[in-house]
A and B are shown apart, each in its own frame.
Chain A
Amino acid sequence: MPDMEETIPIKDEYDIVTARSAGKTIASSTGFGLVDQTRISTAISELARNILRYAGTGTVYVRQVTADGRNGIEVVAGDQGPGIANLDLAMTDGHTTGGGLGAGLPGTKRLMDDFEIDTEVGRGTIVTTRKWVQ
């Protein structure tokens, strides 16, 4: 059976709904229960929203992954926006520069198992996050 994957271009608010629905479908097929499906689709929603809010456009890529005999889901949210100047601050609860709740990145990290950010001012941001079926 081929692994499921989906690439969702993010350019307007409807794409956020598309991305999180795609994520939920893949999460469900991967074997995640309802609570994890909700955590994953919420994380995708936040990452897609960040793309829209800070970069304008970008891409959310969702795929099934396997490592050490475990099944999981990987979400890569990438954009060529302004990048994050102060990553420590961006990862602090309550901090926001975009009029959000300020829980976006740290909250998303809490919902997932693995969380990495690659960002460069003027170049863009790539957030890679994974969750594993327990």
Chain B
Amino acid sequence: MQGAYEKIPVLKIGDFLITSIQVALHDRLALGLQDDILAKIQETNAKGLIIDVTAIDVLDSFITRILVEIAKMANIMGVKTVLVGMQPAIAITLVEFGMELTGIETALNLEKGLELLEKISQEEYGDI
């Protein structure tokens, strides 16, 4: 069966969770990622989450909504989400289409995303 064993890894690095979407996202995979991320947040006490979409070539309204919902749910659990690696063609299409990434921070790439999360979590939790 197609997709039966597909799973997107969610990795913990320091205080942050990082997930990089490297395959064509279909609905079930996106919903599975949502569940996995929330479970991992609880399990690891992570302070921040990075979703890397560098390899994504199409973001339609359903998948965009899932990403926004993941960020909202993570936020309710006390975790800030930064979306990184948005391709120019996707940014153009999202804006023209009218899809909004409300409530989700973005950064150009993984490095900038990590910097942003560090900054956010320092503001939130204090330096020491």
Chain A residues packing against B (C-beta within 8 Å): 13-14, 16-17, 20-21, 24, 34-35, 37-39, 41-42, 45-46, 49, 93, 100-101, 103-104, 106-108, 110-111
Name the contact of B98 in the complex, choosing from A21, A49, A106 (C-beta under 8 A): A106
A-B residue pairs in contact (CB < 8 Å), sample of 24:
A13-B26, A14-B26, A16-B27, A16-B60, A20-B60, A21-B24, A24-B57, A35-B89, A35-B93, A38-B57, A38-B89, A38-B90, A38-B92, A41-B57, A42-B59, A42-B93, A49-B60, A49-B61, A93-B98, A101-B99, A107-B96, A110-B97, A110-B98, A111-B93
Q: Is B3 an interface residue (CB 8 A)?
A: yes
Chain B residues packing against A (C-beta within 8 Å): 2-3, 24, 26-28, 57-62, 64-65, 87-90, 92-93, 96-99
Name the contact of B60 in the complex, choosing from A14, A21, A46, A93 (C-beta under 8 A): A46
- Closest chain B residue, CB of each to CB of A101: B61
A113 to B2, CA, bound (A): 34
Among the interface residues A17, A106, A108, A111, which one has the most CB atoms of the partner chain B within 10 A? A17
Contact B98 A107 (CB under 8 A): yes
Contact A41 B97 (CB under 8 A): no
A19 to chain B, nearest CB (A): 11
A39 to B94, CA, bound (A): 9
Name the contact of A35 in the complex, choosing from B59, B61, B62, B88 (C-beta under 8 A): B88
- Closest chain B residue, CB of each to CB of A53: B62
Instruction: Determine the chain A residues whose CB is within 8 A of the CB of B96 once the complex forms.
Output: 39, 107, 110-111
A51 to B60, CA, bound (A): 14
- Closest chain A residue, CB of each to CB of B61: A101
A53 to B40, CA, bound (A): 30
Contact A103 B3 (CB under 8 A): no
A14 to B92, CA, bound (A): 25
Other A-B pairs, 7, CB within 8 Å; known A107-B96, A110-B97: A17-B24, A35-B88, A42-B97, A45-B60, A46-B61, A103-B98, A107-B98
Q: A24-B57, A107-B61 are in contact. Are A34 and B89 (CB under 8 A)?
A: yes
Instruction: Determine the chain A residues whose CB is within 8 A of the CB of B93 once the complex forms.
Output: 35, 38-39, 42, 111
Among the interface residues A20, A42, A93, A101, which one has the most CB atoms of the partner chain B within 10 A? A42
- Closest chain B residue, CB of each to CB of A37: B89
- Closest chain B residue, CB of each to CB of A45: B60
Name the contact of A104 in the complex, choosing from B2, B27, B61 (C-beta under 8 A): B61
